[in-house]
Amino acid sequence: MGSLGICGNPCRRFAVLLCAEDSEYVRETYGGYFGVFKAMLAEDEDGSEAWDLFRAVSGDLPSDAEAELYDGFVITGSCSDAHGDDLWIQQLVSFVKKVDSMRKKILGVCFGHQILSIAVGGKVGRAKSWDISLRTVQLSPTLTPISSLNLPSSLSIIECHRDEVKELPPKAEVIARSNQTGIEMFRYGNNILGIQGHPEYTKDILLYLIDRLLQRGFIEKPYAEELKANIEVCEPDREAWRKLCVTFLKGDLKGDLCSEFDN
């Protein structure tokens, strides 16, 4: 079960909703995917933040009373299909709708991005092919430039998915695209942000995942070797993505990333 962190008052609370089982490698190397996300997003040197883990994949989600205590939630990637009918996925979609009504910040990554789209009325399905790459995405002019972040018009990000968001409701805004995926990033209102790629991934994690996909027969050896060779010569814009995610998740209602969108 998740547990509420303890810190001084005032305290900002965030929760990672884990949607995949940690592998032994990621657990031992990074402290699990909770550790990966916390390393990217946490800024708690002064003790003003608390970060908690809820294993959504096991049906562990905050209660209504607990959800009220959080400032924001992060929904991780998963090996499952967001468009599947598993009970825990249905519960997660219902939870997103609930915390959206509370106007809580919700950041969704890959599977989480797709779950957010379903929760707000969008559609998710299989892409034409796997996207396992370091891909350049083009940011919407409504997003850049942002003076406080100095973001360029395009950013590279690690991708590892075979599903994608196919359709969004009219109130949602697509804010990043690529030559592979039409909806790389979207926002819904001022409190929901979905990112198809993995801003939290290191190249080491992606190389490990390529090996796992090869072992499980999802990809062929020549393709795996080609992927590894391409990845070794490039770097994702991890710091820019970190700034973007942190600004969205922790920004004040005035002057935060979503307010910048509306300017």
Catalytic residues: 110, 198, 200
| Terminal Cα distance for the chain, rounded | 41
Residues 6+ apart with CB under 8 A from 22: 32, 33
Computed over its alpha carbons, how large is the radius of gyration of the chain? Answer: 17
Q: Which residues contact 66 (CB under 8 A, 6 or more apart)?
A: 2, 4
Nearest-angstrom CA–CA distance, 221 and 83: 28
Separation in Å, CA 169 to CA 109, 118, 134, 166: 19, 10, 28, 11
The tokens for 164 are 């994608």
DSSP state of 183: -
Signed CA dihedral, 211, 217, 221, 227: sign only: negative
The answer to whether the CB of 138 falls within 8 A of the CB of 189 is no
Nearest to 198 by CA among 42, 56, 75: 75
* CA-wise closest residue to 75 among 94, 47, 96: 96
